[in-house]
């Protein structure tokens, strides 16, 4: 994406009223800008990843990324001229965006990261999103350790919606590692999918 195209994308983000589309457009913008610099690409995680997998049932207030180098990330985000740093977060009133760089490493497998294709003006771009299995584990962690009922429900929605795509062997392995096996088995039983894991 040439410089003028990325500038045009920022203008489009500014005018976009749909928050989900705004998040996707920004993710394309920052991915392309980091790619231009020959850098690793950001991975969408947390509530933002849930938003992508479970749209329109869930909308995130911010965009969460994992990226290995905060300094490089900041160079790109500040090159837009519309972001300011607030604590560890990046806010743009102009674009109506709140960005969080949550970690430098992914809580899960890089091999499970999904490349989601996005078409803008007839051209195809790719954004990277945490794998569905690792996202389910993330929600189960919040469900069990933070006693978050909404995250329990979201884990169920994700399992039900992506049943045919989930690597259940990997999901069970991760659940055991995170001490979430009992909760996973409970949710699978509720969904009548207990035969998916042994």
- Cβ-Cβ contacts under 8 Å for 146 (sequence gap 6 or more): none
Please write the tens of the pLDDT for every residue from 107-149. 999 999 999 999 998 999 999 999 999 999 999 999 999 999 9
Q: Answer yes or no: is pLDDT of 3 > 80.
A: no
3-state secondary structure of 4: helix
Single out the residue of 82, 61, 101, 64 nearest to residue 6, CA to CA.
82
At 198, is the pLDDT very low, low, confident or very high (cuts 50, 70, 90)? confident
- Give the distance from CA 134 to its chain's centroid: 11
Distances (CA, A) of 31 to 60, 125, 136, 142, 185: 19, 9, 24, 28, 36
Residue range 87-101: average pLDDT?
95
Report the alpha-carbon distance of residue 116 to residue 128 in Å, rounded.
Answer: 6
* Per-residue pLDDT, 4: 56
At residue 45, what are phi and psi to the nearest 5 degrees? -135, -175
For residue 100, the cross-strand partners are: 64, 89
Which comes out higher in pLDDT, residue 5 or 187?
187
From the CB of residue 23, how many other CB atoms can be counted at a distance below 10 Å?
A: 25
Please write the tens of the pLDDT for every residue from 53-74. 998 888 899 999 999 999 999 9
From the CB of residue 27, how many other CB atoms can be counted at a distance below 10 Å?
A: 25
The three-state DSSP-derived secondary structure of 172-183 is: HHHHHHCCCHHH
Q: Domain spans of the chain? A: 3-129, 132-196
* Cα-Cα-Cα-Cα dihedral sign, residues 187, 192, 197, 198: positive
Q: Mean pLDDT score of the chain, rounded to an integer? A: 94
Distances (CA, A) of 70 to 6, 46, 49, 91: 21, 18, 20, 15
């Amino acid at each position: 994406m040439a410089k003028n195209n990325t500038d045009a994308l920022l203008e489009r983000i500014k005018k976009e009223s749909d928050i989900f589309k705004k998040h996707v457009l920004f993710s394309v913008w920052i991915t392309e800008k980091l790619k231009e610099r020959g850098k690793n690409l950001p991975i969408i995680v947390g509530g933002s990843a849930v938003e992508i997998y479970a749209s329109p049932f869930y909308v995130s207030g911010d965009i969460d990324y994992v990226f290995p180098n905060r300094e490089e990330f900041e160079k790109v985000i500040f090159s837009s001229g519309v972001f300011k740093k607030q604590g560890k977060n990046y806010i743009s009133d102009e674009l109506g965006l709140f960005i969080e760089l949550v970690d430098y490493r992914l809580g899960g497998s890089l091999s499970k990261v999904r490349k989601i294709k996005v078409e803008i003006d007839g051209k195809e771009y790719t954004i990277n999103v945490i794998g569905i299995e690792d996202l389910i584990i993330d929600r189960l962690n919040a469900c069990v350790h933070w006693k978050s009922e909404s995250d329990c429900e979201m884990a169920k929605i994700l399992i039900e919606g992506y049943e045919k795509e989930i690597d259940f062997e990997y999901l069970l392995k991760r659940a055991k590692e995170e001490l979430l096996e009992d909760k996973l088995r409970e949710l699978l039983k509720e969904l009548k999918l207990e035969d998916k894991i042994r």
